């Protein structure tokens, strides 16, 4: 007679049991405890308990063994002794003998999308359970039939470590003894259609080096040395709106490479030393790193993220990135990170179709895909997805001490019809084109980030006229601290690209930004986007011969630093790198041997030095009282003059006079806001900067009671060709 096979045991062997703990492990029976173990390919299994050894019987030919321990009781502390036909015998702890490592409150908060530290519970976490060291694995995959964790520790055999389903939460969990720091793993997910897919952990803290795609168990070991920095950040309370912010934007892989290994980027440790020293010397207050989050495709520069809680291993380990940030903080330099919640790539091993369904992305292709980038759009209306993104932003501020985030491609999040034609998008519930779910996500992001991490910066790359991007959410805004001023960037570069003989016809492009300059908390960006994809380098955008190009560049930067708004400059722009930026090779540092390029670099250094020590240039960036036109209409001579004021306008004031023509303007009379002697603080045409030195002799001016430009006082300035001069009252 054929013996009937228990369906539960068959499900264990087939890998279709959603709760393997209900069958495997130790369970109370009358008179003792029964232990079941699934060890496919084993020839014998025994239980080691209390100094005794008990053989288990094979109860299923697929590798299920079971046996009763008479008189035993739960909880049972035991090991399994497993023998194989090749003569090898292994002793191991049974992963099915441990209770869940996730608490009910964690599961509840995750389901509501309110678990701000969900990354501390989902993913892989080394811990001790019942005196046993191992790793607790957990993953959200609500539509999966089964989930197993696989890795080197089980020879990538998904039969050995099936996870248990934690009910309606959609979370699967398993504690695996003896797995620890550095172990490689993935999740093997069986979809409802029966397909097996291998997925990297969305909450992994570390990843393999591309092109390998597995997750890596990671235990942070870095000891932070920036307590004073972090305390000062928290005590500041609010975003630093009235502080100097001069940001140096960096792509770590191409900023600098060793001449001995030009095909290899520097590591985090070397970057920490060299970048911190350079940024400090140049006087920038912050660095902003193009995304350091894990990304498989290097030419995406990090903007196609697959790991929202793990840094790219291209430059070293997670702890080495922490150490790099620590070094920057030690030199008084803040660190901003680019962060990408707008889209993610379609890589089959990552977030796309994670559990066989559109889990992280929208199911409707009219909402779920970005037509421009070939990527997927997060379904921010889903609690768990929103929680994933909010926790990611908090994670980098907390676990990596990042001083803020710059959110990429915000415009693409705000509009349902972004880059879509009629019929390719779905209106919102009010019939409009705003993505109300994404708007709600961004508002919550800024509320949570600023409330939980006081003093951090949040900046939006937002290129439209969407109202209130940097206004508080209680006033109806999105709550960002800053918004990139893309209008200023586009208008200014168009103006500077014009031959000076034509600039009088484009004068408005230079002055128009002041019409809206105080409608948002603007950051003025000259970023990587302006020197790639055939746009040419910044210096090559300038007209004229080489001397004029560099003079225009010095003038552009002086105008930028004097204009209301915080500053951002991409690597290489500070000396006017001649060629367009290429992410796969080092910047052309050798160009600094040329006096012209070195002069541009020295201007930027001088601008930062003056900027950070002159309250008139930063205290009132977002208040109309901090700016006043003196001469905005002299298009014929390409001259612009304006004043900047600090909180004490009687003491903190600066006059900026610009000559955007290659023709010197000797004796150009201009109004001044106060009587007295005014000292020249900056001259971009100085010979030390590679200029002509036309106005170097005029180190100061004494005003006269001659009304000019609507001012009661005036003086005659020598305006250098394609140059800018700054004057401040003599103290």
Q: Taking residues 547-571, report their average pLDDT.
A: 98
Q: Nearest-CA neighbor of 49 among 78, 80, 90?
A: 78
Q: Within a 10 A sphere around the Cβ of 14, how many other Cβ atoms?
A: 13
Mean pLDDT, to the nearest integer, of 383-411?
A: 97
Contacts of 352 (CB under 8 A, 6+ apart): 344, 345, 346, 360, 361, 376
* Residue 461 or residue 2, greater confidence: 461
> Count of CB atoms within 10 A of residue 410's CB?
25
Dihedrals phi, psi of 86, to nearest 5 degrees:
-80, 0
Residue 22 CB coordination number (10 Å): 14
pLDDT at 365: 87
List Cβ<8 Å contacts ≥24 apart for 582-587.
582/254, 583/251, 583/253, 583/254, 583/298, 583/299, 583/301, 584/253, 584/254, 584/298, 584/299, 585/254, 585/257, 585/262, 586/254, 586/255, 586/256, 586/257, 586/262, 587/254, 587/255, 587/256
> Nearest-CA neighbor of 160 among 124, 188, 198?
188
Residue in 94, 408, 530, 631 annotated catalytic: 408
Q: Which of these ranges, 359-368, 640-649, 701-710, has the smallest mean pLDDT?
A: 359-368
Count the Cβ atoms, other than its own, within 10 Å of residue 30: 6
Whether the CB-CB separation of 552 and 634 falls below 8 Å is answered with: no
Q: Is 487 exposed, middle or buried (0-12, 13-18, 19+ CB in 10 A)?
A: middle
Q: How far apart are the first and last CA of the chain?
A: 108
CA gap 690, 129 in Å, rounded: 67
With bands split at pLDDT 50, 70 and 90, how would you rate the model's confidence at 639? very high
DSSP code, position 2: P
Residue extents of the structural domains in the chain: 7-94, 104-216, 624-729
- pLDDT given at position 466: 93
Helix (H/G/I), strand (E/B), else coil: 494: helix
For the chain, the average pLDDT equals 95
pLDDT (0 to 100) of residue 1:
44
Alpha-carbon distance of 329 to 224, in angstroms, equals 10
Helices (H), 114-199: none
Q: What is d(CA 483, CA 352) in angstroms, rounded to the nearest whole number?
A: 30
What Å distances lie between residue 434 and 348, 411, 425, 481, CA to CA?
A: 30, 10, 11, 21
More confident residue, 203 or 5: 203
Residue 113: the pLDDT is 83
**DSSP-assigned letter for residue 329:** H
Distance of alpha carbon 386 from alpha carbon 363, whole angstroms: 16
The active-site residue out of 355, 361, 461, 520 is 461
The pTM score is: 0.95
Q: Is 408 a catalytic residue?
A: yes
User: How does pLDDT run across 440-451, given as a tens digit for each residue?
Assistant: 999 999 999 999
* Domain at 7-94, CATH homologous superfamily: Immunoglobulins (2.60.40.10)
Closest by CA to 179, choosing from 123, 131, 137, 120, is: 137
Q: CB of 326 within 8 A of CB of 401?
A: yes
Is 466 strand, coil or helix? coil
**588 catalytically annotated:** no
Report whether pLDDT(393) > 70. Answer: yes
Nearest by Cα to 288 from 315, 258, 328: 328
Predicted local distance difference test score (pLDDT) of residue 346? 96
> Mean per-residue pLDDT for 322-351?
97
- Distance of alpha carbon 436 from alpha carbon 610, whole angstroms: 43
- Within 8 A by CB and 6+ apart from 495, the residues are 503, 506, 509, 510, 660
Same fold: 104-216 with 624-729: yes
Handedness of CA 333, 339, 345, 349 (dihedral sign): positive
Q: Per the structure block, which two tokens stand in for 256?
A: 């600098």
Alpha-carbon gap, residue 189 to 204, rounded angstroms? 16
pLDDT bracket for residue 51 (50, 70, 90)? confident
Strands 307-311 and 293-294: antiparallel
H helical segments located in 592-689: 595-612
Tens-digit pLDDT profile for residues 81-106: 999 999 999 999 999 999 898 888 88
- Is pLDDT of 355 > 50? yes
How far is it, in rounded angstroms, from Cα 384 to Cα 484?
29
Note whether 722 and 660 are within 8 A (CB): yes
Contact (CB, 8 A) for 21 and 96? yes
Fold of 624-729: Immunoglobulin-like (2.60.40)
pLDDT on residue 715: 97
Banded pLDDT at 37 (limits 50, 70, 90): very high
Distance CA 477, CA 497 (A): 35
* CATH architecture group of domain 104-216: Sandwich (2.60)
- Say how far apart CA 64 and CA 59 lie, in whole Å: 6
| Overall residue count recorded for the chain in this entry | 731
234 Cβ contact list (under 8 Å, min separation 6):
453, 454, 455
Predicted pLDDT of residue 3: 63
């Amino acid at each position: 007679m054929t013996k009937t096979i228990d369906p539960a045991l068959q499900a264990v062997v087939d890998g279709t049991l959603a709760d393997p703990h209900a069958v495997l492990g130790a369970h109370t029976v009358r008179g003792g405890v029964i232990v079941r173990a699934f060890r496919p390919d084993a020839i014998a299994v025994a239980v080691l308990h209390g100094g005794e050894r008990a053989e288990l019987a094979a109860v299923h030919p697929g590798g299920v063994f079971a046996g009763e321990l008479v008189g035993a009781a739960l909880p049972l502390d035991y090991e399994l002794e497993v023998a194989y036909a090749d003569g090898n015998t292994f002793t191991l702890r049974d992963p099915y003998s441990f209770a869940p490592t996730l608490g009910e409150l964690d599961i509840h908060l995750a389901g509501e999308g309110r678990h701000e530290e969900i990354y501390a519970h989902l993913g892989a976490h080394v811990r001790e359970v019942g005196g046993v060291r191992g790793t607790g694995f957990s993953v959200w995959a609500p539509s999966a039939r089964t989930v197993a964790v696989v890795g080197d520790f089980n020879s990538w055999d998904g039969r050995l470590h099936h996870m248990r389903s934690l009910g309606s939460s959609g979370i699967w969990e398993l504690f695996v003894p003896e797995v620890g720091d550095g172990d490689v793993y993935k999740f093997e997910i069986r979809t409802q259609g029966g397909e097996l897919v291998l997925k990297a952990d969305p909450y992994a803290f570390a990843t393999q080096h591309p092109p390998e795609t597995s997750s890596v168990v990671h235990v942070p070991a870095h000891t932070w040395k920036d307590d004073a920095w972090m305390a000062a950040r928290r005590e500041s309370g609010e975003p630093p709106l009235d502080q100097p912010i001069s940001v140096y934007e960096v792509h770590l892989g191409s900023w600098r490479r060793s001449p001995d290994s030009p095909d290899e980027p520097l590591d985090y440790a070397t970057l920490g030393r060299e970048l911190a020293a350079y940024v400090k010397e140049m006087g920038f207050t912050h660095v902003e790193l193009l995304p350091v989050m894990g990304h498989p495709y290097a030419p995406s520069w990090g903007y196609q993220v697959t790991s929202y809680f793990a840094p790219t291993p291209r430059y070293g380990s997670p702890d080495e990135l922490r150490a790099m940030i620590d070094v920057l903080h030690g030199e008084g330099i803040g660190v901003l990170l680019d962060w990408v919640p707008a889209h993610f790539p379609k890589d089959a091993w990552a977030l796309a179709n994670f559990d066989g369904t559109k889990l992280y992305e929208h199911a409707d292709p009219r909402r779920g895909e970005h037509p421009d980038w070939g990527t997927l759009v997060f379904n921010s209306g889903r609690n768990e997805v929103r929680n994933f993104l909010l926790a990611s932003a908090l994670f980098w501020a907390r676990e990596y001490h990042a001083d803020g985030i710059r959110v990429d491609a915000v415009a693409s999040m705000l509009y349902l019809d972004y880059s879509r034609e009629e019929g390719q998008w779905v209106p919102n519930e009010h019939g409009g084109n705003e993505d109300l779910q994404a708007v709600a996500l961004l508002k919550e992001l800024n509320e949570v980030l600023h409330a939980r991490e006081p003093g951090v910066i949040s900046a939006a790359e937002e290129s439209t006229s969407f109202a209130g991007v940097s206004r508080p959410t209680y006033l109806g805004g999105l709550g960002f601290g800053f918004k990139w001023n893309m209008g200023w960037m586009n208008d200014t570069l168009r103006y500077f690209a014009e031959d000076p003989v034509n600039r009088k016809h484009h004068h408005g492009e230079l002055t128009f930004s002041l019409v809206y300059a105080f409608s948002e908390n603007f950051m003025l960006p000259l970023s990587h986007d302006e020197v790639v994809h055939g746009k040419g380098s910044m210096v090559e955008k300038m007209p004229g011969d080489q001397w004029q190009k560099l003079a225009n560049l010095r003038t552009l930067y002086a105008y930028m630093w004097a204009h209301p708004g915080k500053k951002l400059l991409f690597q290489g722009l500070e000396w006017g790198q001649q060629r367009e930026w290429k992410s796969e090779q080092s910047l052309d540092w050798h160009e600094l041997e040329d006096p012209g390029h070195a002069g541009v670099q020295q201007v930027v250094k001088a601008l930062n030095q003056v900027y950070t020590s002159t309250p008139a240039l930063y205290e009132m960036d977002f208040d109309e009282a901090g700016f006043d036109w003196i001469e905005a209409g002299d298009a014929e001579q390409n001259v612009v003059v304006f004043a900047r004021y600090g909180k004490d306008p009687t003491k903190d004031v600066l006059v900026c006079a610009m000559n955007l023509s290659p023709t010197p303007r000797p004796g150009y009379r201009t109004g001044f806001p106060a009587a007295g002697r005014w000292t020249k603080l900056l001259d971009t045409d100085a010979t030390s900067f590679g200029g002509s030195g036309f106005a170097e002799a005029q180190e100061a001016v004494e005003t006269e009671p001659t009304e000019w430009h609507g001012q009661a006082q005036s003086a005659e300035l020598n305006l250098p060709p394609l140059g800018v001069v700054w004057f401040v009252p003599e103290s």
